Structure 1
Amino acid sequence: MLQKYTEEFRYNIKLSVPVILGMLGHTFVQLADNIMVGQLGTAELAAVSLGNSFVFVAMSLGIGFSTAITPLVAEADGAGNKDNAKSALKHGLVLCTVLGLTLFGLILLAKPIMYIMKQPIEVVELALPYLDLVAFSLVPLIVFQAFKQFSEGLSQTKYPMYATVVANIINIVLNYILIFGNFGFPKMGIVGAAIGTLVSRFFMVFYLWFILKTKDKFKYYVTGFNFAKIEKRVIKKIIELGFPSSLQMFFEVGIFTSAVWLSGVLGKNAQAANQIALNLSSMTFMFGMGLGVTAMIRVGNQKGLFNFKELRRIAQSIFLLTFLLEIFFAALFLIGRHWFPTLYLDINDVTSITDNTEVMIIAAELLLVAAFFQISDGIQVVVLGALRGLQDVKIPTVITFISYWLIGFPVSYYLCLHTNLKSTGIWIGLLIGLTASAIMLYLRFNYLTKKLIAG
Structure 2
Amino acid sequence: MIAGWLKERWEGTCGCAEVLRVGAPLMISMGSTTLMQFTDRIFLGWHDVSELAAAVPGGLVSFLLVSFFMGAASCVGVLVAQYHGACRPERVGPALWAGVWFSIAAGILLAALAETGAPLFRLAGHPASVQGLEADYFRILTLGGGWIVLATALSGYFSGLGRTVHVMAVNLLGAAANIPLDYALIFGRLGAPELGIEGAAIATVLGSVLSCLLFGLLLLAPEAQTRHRVRSSWRFDADMLARLLRVGLPAGVQFFLDIMAITGFALLLGRMGLVALSATNIAFSINGLTYLPVIGLSIAVSVLVGRSQGQQRPDLARRATFNALFLALVWMVGVGLLFVLAPGPLLDLFQSASQKVAPQDGGASFADIREMGIVLLRYVALYSLADAVSIVFFGALKGAGDTRFVMLVMLAASVCVLILPAWWLVEQGLGGIHGPWLCLSAYICFLAACFGLRFRHGAWMKRRLIEAAPGKNCHT
Distance 1:187 1:362 in 2: 31
Aligned match of 1:380 in 390, 396, 413?
Answer: 390
Aligned match of 1:312 in 293, 311, 318?
Answer: 318
Determine which structure has the larger helix proportion and give its number: 1
Q: Given the superposition, is the C-alpha separation of residues 170 and 311 from structure 1 closer, same or farther in structure 2, using an over 3 Å criterion? A: closer
- For 2:42, give the aligned amino acid: I
The 3-state SS of whatever aligns with 2:245 is helix
Task: Give the deviation of 1:226 after TM superposition.
Answer: 4.9
Aligned position for 1:287: 293
Task: Give the deviation of 1:309 after TM superposition.
Answer: 2.1
The 3-state SS of whatever aligns with 2:231 is coil
Task: Give the deviation of 1:12 after TM superposition.
Answer: 1.0
Aligned position for 1:188: 195
The 3-state SS of whatever aligns with 1:370 is helix
1:119 equivalenced with 2:126 (yes/no): yes
- Cα root mean square deviation, aligned: 2.1
Aligned position for 2:95: 88
TM value normalised by structure 2: 0.90
Aligned ranges 1:436-447 → 2 under 5 Å: 436-447=446-457
Q: Is the 8 A contact 2:225 2:231 kept in 1?
A: no
Task: Give the deviation of 1:67 after TM superposition.
Answer: 2.0
What is the aligned length?
451
Q: Is the 8 A contact 1:123 1:268 kept in 2?
A: no
Q: Is the 8 A contact 1:412 1:425 kept in 2?
A: yes
Aligned ranges 1:213-252 → 2 under 5 Å: 213=220, 215-220=221-226, 221=228, 223-227=230-234, 229-252=235-258
Q: Is the 8 A contact 1:416 1:424 kept in 2?
A: no
Q: Given the superposition, is the C-alpha separation of residues 250 and 33 from structure 1 closer, same or farther in structure 2, using an over 3 Å criterion? A: same
Q: Is the 8 A contact 1:42 1:356 kept in 2?
A: no
Task: Give the deviation of 1:322 after TM superposition.
Answer: 1.6
- For 1:191, give the aligned amino acid: E
Aligned position for 1:339: 345
1:357 equivalenced with 2:363 (yes/no): no
Aligned position for 1:54: 61
1:25 equivalenced with 2:29 (yes/no): no
Moved more, 308-317 or 167-176: 308-317
Cα deviation digits, residues 422-454 of structure 1 (max 9, x gap): 3332221111011011111111111116976xx
Task: Give the deviation of 1:314 after TM superposition.
Answer: 2.3
1:267 equivalenced with 2:273 (yes/no): yes
Cα deviation digits, residues 361-402 of structure 1 (max 9, x gap): 111111110111111112111101101111111112111222
Distance 2:201 2:229 in 1: 30
Aligned match of 1:390 in 400, 411, 421?
Answer: 400
Task: Give the deviation of 1:105 after TM superposition.
Answer: 2.0
Unmatched runs of 5 consecutive residues or more in structure 2: 463-476
Q: Given the superposition, is the C-alpha separation of residues 208 and 56 from structure 1 closer, same or farther in structure 2, using an over 3 Å criterion? A: same
Aligned match of 2:205 in 198, 216, 220?
Answer: 198
Aligned position for 1:427: 437
- For 1:65, give the aligned amino acid: A
- For 2:328, give the aligned amino acid: T
TM value normalised by structure 1: 0.93
1:255 equivalenced with 2:256 (yes/no): no
Distance 2:349 2:229 in 1: 41
The 3-state SS of whatever aligns with 2:25 is helix
Task: Give the deviation of 1:86 after TM superposition.
Answer: 0.8
Q: Given the superposition, is the C-alpha separation of residues 59 and 284 from structure 1 closer, same or farther in structure 2, using an over 3 Å criterion? A: farther
Task: Give the deviation of 1:225 after TM superposition.
Answer: 4.1
Aligned ranges 1:168-179 → 2 under 5 Å: 168-179=175-186
Distance 2:430 2:48 in 1: 26
Distance 2:119 2:275 in 1: 23
Aligned match of 2:424 in 414, 435, 449?
Answer: 414
Unmatched runs of 5 consecutive residues or more in structure 1: none
Distance 1:280 1:125 in 2: 25
Q: Is the 8 A contact 2:117 2:135 kept in 1?
A: no
Q: Given the superposition, is the C-alpha separation of residues 185 and 235 from structure 1 closer, same or farther in structure 2, using an over 3 Å criterion? A: closer
- For 2:9, give the aligned amino acid: Y
Q: Is the 8 A contact 2:16 2:320 kept in 1?
A: no
Aligned position for 2:411: 401
Q: Is the 8 A contact 1:88 1:234 kept in 2?
A: yes
- For 1:5, give the aligned amino acid: R
Q: Quick one: percent identity of the two aligned structures?
A: 22
The 3-state SS of whatever aligns with 1:19 is helix
Distance 2:273 2:341 in 1: 27
Aligned position for 2:9: 5
- For 2:213, give the aligned amino acid: F
Q: Is the 8 A contact 2:225 2:232 kept in 1?
A: no
Q: Is the 8 A contact 1:51 1:131 kept in 2?
A: yes
The 3-state SS of whatever aligns with 2:359 is helix
The 3-state SS of whatever aligns with 1:422 is coil
Distance 1:38 1:222 in 2: 47
Task: Give the deviation of 1:15 after TM superposition.
Answer: 1.0
The 3-state SS of whatever aligns with 1:191 is helix
Q: Given the superposition, is the C-alpha separation of residues 304 and 191 from structure 1 closer, same or farther in structure 2, using an over 3 Å criterion? A: same
Q: Is the 8 A contact 2:65 2:110 kept in 1?
A: yes
Aligned position for 2:329: 323
Task: Give the deviation of 1:270 after TM superposition.
Answer: 1.5
Q: Is the 8 A contact 1:16 1:293 kept in 2?
A: yes
Aligned position for 2:86: 79
Distance 2:70 2:385 in 1: 23
Q: Is the 8 A contact 2:188 2:195 kept in 1?
A: yes
1:109 equivalenced with 2:116 (yes/no): yes
Q: Given the superposition, is the C-alpha separation of residues 368 and 310 from structure 1 closer, same or farther in structure 2, using an over 3 Å criterion? A: same
Distance 1:255 1:2 in 2: 39
Distance 1:395 1:405 in 2: 16
The 3-state SS of whatever aligns with 1:266 is coil
The 3-state SS of whatever aligns with 1:339 is helix
The 3-state SS of whatever aligns with 1:39 is helix
Distance 1:49 1:217 in 2: 41
- For 2:378, give the aligned amino acid: L
Cα deviation digits, residues 309-330 of structure 1 (max 9, x gap): 2222222221222222212222
